[in-house]
């Protein structure tokens, strides 16, 4: 069975995330302690106890989600003998790409935590609160052509682009608030439902260029090595292994489209993936995988029981 590990993005955070792993495994506690030390912050305490409004802040949610994902990876390796390179590919949704790079050994855990903290802060600084907006276009008529048409209509009033091509029936647009509002109207005319998202900034659009500039500077000195297995990048929707290419794509990703549907389609077809395993908090990517590649097995590893069952399955050769 050919496996791809998937790493979730912002929105999958929740108070209590990682607590069961920390209670059950010393190796998970080690990951959380390393992240806390790297950030000089009791992030693990915030993850366990909240408050939710602090955990949801971009600068906290991003390293927190990575920490839970890497705790799962370390527990699988140390406690169950399932190394990350038992998989054939890794991929992460937006910030999850950093988790994928850390899991595959391209980035050190402490460096990843610091980069994500900065990424969250830089994204928040890039656009004044209230200027930007994002909206999810959903429904059976929602496809990339409809979303592009809606974004084009919004562009008459400012920046408006497709930010996340998640799967057919779930596409996110981002940009100036007035432009996104116009795009929402157009999307509804075209037969889609449109839901404004409760986000603090318009991610993955040209308004994020100041954040991309900050990340370019930070990433220029970050040690990035060749990953142990290919990383399917958001920007290209193709597997990448060259450290300098990965560095450049992390910068481009800040303003660029998350090409998740295409990434998953490549994995299922060209990559021959027959099992998608979501690693970390939540099950958002598992749901997407089932819609994009219904012929493949899809599962999420959230709890100690999930990890034990998965390890037994791997050991039996299933």
Q: Tell me the catalytic residues.
A: 94, 204
Q: Can you tell me the distance from the alpha carbon of 198 to that of 15, in angstroms, rounded to the nearest whole number?
A: 18
Closest CA to 235 of 248, 223, 218: 248
234 contacts 253 by C-beta, under 8 angstroms: yes
3-state class of 48 per DSSP? helix
301 contacts 72 by C-beta, under 8 angstroms: yes
Q: Residue 204: left if φ>0, alpha if ψ -120 to 50, beta else—which one? A: left
3-state class of 4 per DSSP? strand
Q: Can you tell me the distance from the alpha carbon of 52 to that of 133, in angstroms, rounded to the nearest whole number?
A: 21
Contacts of 139 (CB under 8 A, 6+ apart): 169, 191, 192, 193
Q: Residue 84: left if φ>0, alpha if ψ -120 to 50, beta else—which one? A: alpha
Closest CA to 98 of 217, 207, 213, 219: 219
């Amino acid at each position: 069975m050919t496996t791809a590990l998937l790493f979730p993005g912002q929105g999958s955070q929740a108070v209590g995330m990682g607590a069961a792993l920390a209670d059950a495994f010393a190796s998970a506690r080690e990951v959380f302690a390393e992240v806390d030390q790297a950030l000089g912050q009791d992030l693990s305490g915030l993850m366990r106890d909240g408050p939710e409004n602090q955990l949801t802040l971009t600068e906290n949610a991003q390293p927190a989600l990575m920490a839970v994902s890497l705790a799962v990876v370390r527990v699988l390796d140390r406690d169950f003998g399932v190394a990350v390179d038992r998989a054939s590919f890794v991929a992460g949704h937006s910030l999850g790409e950093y988790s994928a790079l850390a899991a595959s050994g391209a980035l050190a855990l402490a460096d990843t935590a610091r980069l994500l903290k900065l990424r969250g802060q830089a994204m928040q600084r890039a656009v004044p609160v209230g200027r930007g907006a994002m909206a999810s276009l959903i429904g059976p008529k929602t496809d990339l052509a409809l979303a592009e048409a809606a974004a084009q209509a919004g562009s008459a009033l400012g920046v408006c682009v497709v930010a996340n091509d998640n799967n057919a029936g779930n596409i996110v647009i981002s940009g100036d608030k007035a432009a996104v509002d116009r795009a929402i109207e157009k999307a509804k005319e075209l037969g889609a439902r449109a839901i404004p998202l409760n986000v603090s900034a318009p991610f993955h659009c040209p308004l994020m260029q100041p954040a991309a500039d900050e990340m370019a500077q930070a990433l220029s000195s970050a040690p990035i090595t060749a990953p142990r297995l290919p990383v399917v990048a958001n920007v290209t929707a193709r597997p990448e292994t060259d450290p300098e290419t990965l560095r450049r794509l992390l910068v481009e990703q800040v303003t660029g489209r998350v090409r998740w549907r295409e990434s998953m389609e490549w994995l299922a077809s060209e990559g021959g993936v027959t099992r998608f395993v979501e690693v970390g908090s939540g099950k958002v990517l598992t749901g997407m995988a089932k819609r994009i590649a219904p012929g493949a097995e899809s599962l999420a590893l959230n709890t100690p029981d999930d990890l034990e069952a998965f390890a037994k399955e791997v050991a039996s050769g299933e």
